[in-house]
Copies of this chain bind each other. A is one copy, B any other.
């Protein structure tokens, strides 16, 4: 089973927006065992879309199209798909019309020909109800191929994908796939692979393993089993148990967990709270923690202490310590962490001070020197690391390492 993804839009071809839809759709298709052979982006003209469809039909069984719907580009995709699938007439889709009417009402816009037309679909498709916008999705079967059209707005497309996935599974009687994903942090992919070589060899052949590395969230290990048996879950669990023995606290979560969600869960379980004291990360750690809904249950707040005076006035760092060791030093981050923990009255506090670059480096403390500390009821721990990226990479990396160090200190407390 092979798929092709086609994204439509001049704004993609001029580099104005990055196409994120293709990756999302590919990930979902892969999760049900449909491989993506090509991704193609074309402009929003009839000719470009028609050509792309024609070619895709020679390569793939399933063609997933996003974009080129809506009044601003004359619904060019819808009209081209109608032509491509030899539609005879247009049919009004009642449920979509009702959604369009309610959206128009909410936005205070009048109903007119233009938005009513959005509910008119070629007679060669089945409608896929888009509850989040005015352009319905469409499902065509033509010449033995499935062609699926969705709007280009990412959250509308994502809202339609659940139905698309479940229809594809039914239509092709795809073998169910059992997935389980384990999230690790602190070991590079190559080191992890070396450490796991023997364990991997011992895995039953039908358990497939993939390494999925990401600079901000470490390496994910994904187990896949096609046509799972009633015993599959227990067998994967057995492999995970062995993995836990090998990796210990390098494992921080499962599925879509991030370091920030893992820290949040640990704090919530312990009814503990945390605060942040950030210099070079400049609010990034607080921002990652508060991106998660419900984080106010454990995150009380933080101080971005960019200027040394702020380190002293709000976090009670001794000016003599800064003078003697420099702002990027273990004694200073330790005082920052303890200062935040005290000032914000939290159980834990994490602090970072470093030289993100490009300026500010010295021979003793080059760009990329970063000090991290975590304060807890048991005292304060700290470490110094040397990073090698540019400014934004160093900030991201420092934030991830700080969250991981915080996580480990919470776990150790048990």
Please give the residue numbers on chain A whose beta carbons come within 8 Å of chain B beta carbons, in ascending order. Answer: 12-20, 22-30, 35-43, 48, 155, 212, 276, 278, 280-287, 289-291, 293-296, 299-307, 309-310, 313-314, 343-345, 357-359, 390-392, 395
For A287, the chain B residues whose CB sits under 8 A away are 281-284, 287
Contact status B343-A314, CB under 8 Å: yes
> How far, in Å, is A156 (CB) from chain B's closest CB?
12
Can you list 17 contacts pairing A with B, beta carbon distance less than 8 Å? A14-B27, A14-B36, A15-B28, A15-B30, A18-B19, A18-B20, A18-B23, A40-B40, A278-B286, A282-B291, A282-B299, A283-B284, A291-B392, A296-B307, A310-B344, A313-B344, A314-B343
Contact status A302-B300, CB under 8 Å: no
Since A12-B39, A282-B286, A293-B391 are in contact, a sample of 17 more A-B pairs with Cβ atoms closer than 8 Å, ordered by chain A residue number, is A15-B27, A16-B27, A18-B18, A19-B23, A40-B40, A276-B283, A276-B304, A281-B290, A282-B291, A283-B287, A286-B304, A287-B287, A291-B392, A293-B359, A296-B307, A303-B303, A303-B304
> How far, in Å, is A41 (CB) from chain B's closest CB?
4
Contact status A283-B290, CB under 8 Å: yes
For A16, the chain B residues whose CB sits under 8 A away are 23, 27, 212
Contact status B25-A13, CB under 8 Å: no
Which of B30, B155, B293, B314 is A303 in contact with, Cβ under 8 Å? B314
For A305, the chain B residues whose CB sits under 8 A away are 301
Residue of B nearest to A59 (CB): B51
Q: How far is the CA of A136 from the CA of B284 in the complex (A)?
A: 35
Given known pairs A20-B18, A27-B14, A36-B13, the reply for A307 and B303 (CB within 8 Å) is no
